[in-house]
Structure 1
Amino acid sequence: MKKLLLTLFVALGALATQAQEIKWMSLDEALAAQKKNAKPIFMDVYTDWCGPCKMLDKNTFHDKAVADYINTNYYAVKFNAEGSAEVSYKGKKYANPNYVAGRRGRNSVHEFTIFLKVRAYPSMMIFDSKGNVKEPIVGYHTPDQLMKVLKAK
C-alpha cells in the first residue's frame, strides 16, 4: 500500500511540474508594457458560462509548451467578454453599462467585445506589437492546434 501511495504521489508531482501558468494581465497593463518593450498581445476572450472556454483554459493554456510560448512571445490578456472591467484602447474607454453583478449565466456583452467583433466563444485575439487588432483565432484548440496557429502568425 505504501509503495502504491508513493508511486501515486510521484506521478502527481510529475504532472504538477508539467503544468505551467500563463502570466495574464489586463489589456491596459499589456498596452503599457508594449510601450516599454514592443511585443504582440495574445488575448483570451471568454465568458463564465462557456464550456469550450473552460476547456481551453484547463487543457490548452495550462500546457507547458503553450504557456512558455505565449509568455515568451506575447503579453497575455484574459478578457471576460461579459465582464465589468473598464478598458481603454486607442484613446477610447469601453465599459459594460448593462452588466448585472451576481447574475449567473449570460450577462450583458461588453462594449469592447462588440468593438472586437467577437462572434463566438472562445475567441483569441492577436494584437500586433503596436497594439493594432489582427485576426481572431476562434473556437477551442488543443495545445498542438494552437501552437501551429501561433507559430504561423
Structure 2
Amino acid sequence: MKRISFLYLLIMLIASCGSTNVNEHYQKDRSSNPIEKRHFLFNFEDESTISPVLEKAKAQKKLIYLDVSASWCLPCQLMKRDVYTDKQTADFFNKNFINYLVDVESDEGPDIKVIFDVKQLPTLLILNEQGDVLKRHEGAYYQEDLIRFASELINN
C-alpha cells in the first residue's frame, strides 16, 4: 500500500511540475512591460554597425562598452531593467565610454557574435578604438560589479 501511495504521489508531483512554466510567465510579463532603450539612462549608440561607434570612440578618445545580448535572454533583460536604468552606473559609463548594445538577432548582431567569439549571453566587452578586446565577461553583472569591471581600465 505504501508503494502504491508513493507512486501515486510521485506521478502527481511530476504532472504538476509541467503546469507552471517560468518562461511563459516571463514572456507575459515582458510583453506587457517591454524594456526599451528609451527607458535607459545609459547613452547607447543608435547605430546598426560598429564602424561609426569605433569612429566616435577614436574622435572622443574613449573606450567602447559593448553588450552583446538577445531579447530572449533573461539575464540580458534583467541587466536592461536593473542596470541600464541605474543613475550612478549610467553616469559612470556615459562619462567614460561609448556604449553600444547589440542584439545577436538583429542588424549586425550575427557578425558581432562571430567577430568577438560570443558563446554566452550576455557577453560584456570593453574595446579600444580599433575594436580590440581589452576585457571580457560572459554573464550578467549588476551595478557595482559592472562599474568595478570597467573601472579597472579607466584607472590605469
Band the TM-score falls in, shorter-chain normalisation:
0.5 to 0.7
Partner of 1:22: 42
Residues 73-132 of structure 1 deviation map (CA, whole Å, 9 limit, x = unaligned): 00000111121x14xxxxxxxxx7xxxxxxxxxxxxx12201201111111111014432
Q: Which runs of 5+ in 2 are unaligned?
A: 1-38
Instruction: State the identity %.
Output: 22
| Alignment-mate amino acid for residue 61 of structure 1 | Y
Greater strand percent: which structure? 1
Gaps of 5+ in 1: 1-18, 87-95, 97-109
Q: 1:46·1:81 contact (CA, 8 Å) conserved in 2?
A: yes
Task: Tell me if 1:148 matches 2:148.
Answer: yes
1:23-76 alpha-carbon deviations (Å, 9 max, x no partner)? 111323311212322210001100110000000111011111110111000000
Structure with bigger RCO (C-alpha 8 Å, 6+ apart): 1
Q: Which has the higher helix share?
A: 2
Q: How does 1:2-151 map to 2 (within 5 A)?
A: 21-25=41-45, 26=47, 27-83=50-106, 85-86=107-108, 110-151=110-151
| Mapped partners of 2:135, 2:94: distance in 1 | 20
List structure 1 segments (4+ residues) > 3 angstroms apart after TM superposition.
none
In structure 2, the partner of 1:106 is: none
Give the aligned CA root-mean-square deviation in angstroms.
Answer: 1.8
Instruction: Kindly provide the amino acid, as one letter, of the partner of residue 86 in structure 2.
Output: D
Tell me the residue number matched to 1:100.
Answer: none
Contact map agreement 1:125 1:136 (CA 8 A) in 2: yes
Provide the secondary structure at the position in 1 that maps to 2:79.
Answer: helix
Which protein has the larger Cα radius of gyration, Structure 1 or Structure 2? 2
Tell whether the 8 Å contact from 1:20 to 1:68 is kept in structure 2 after alignment: no
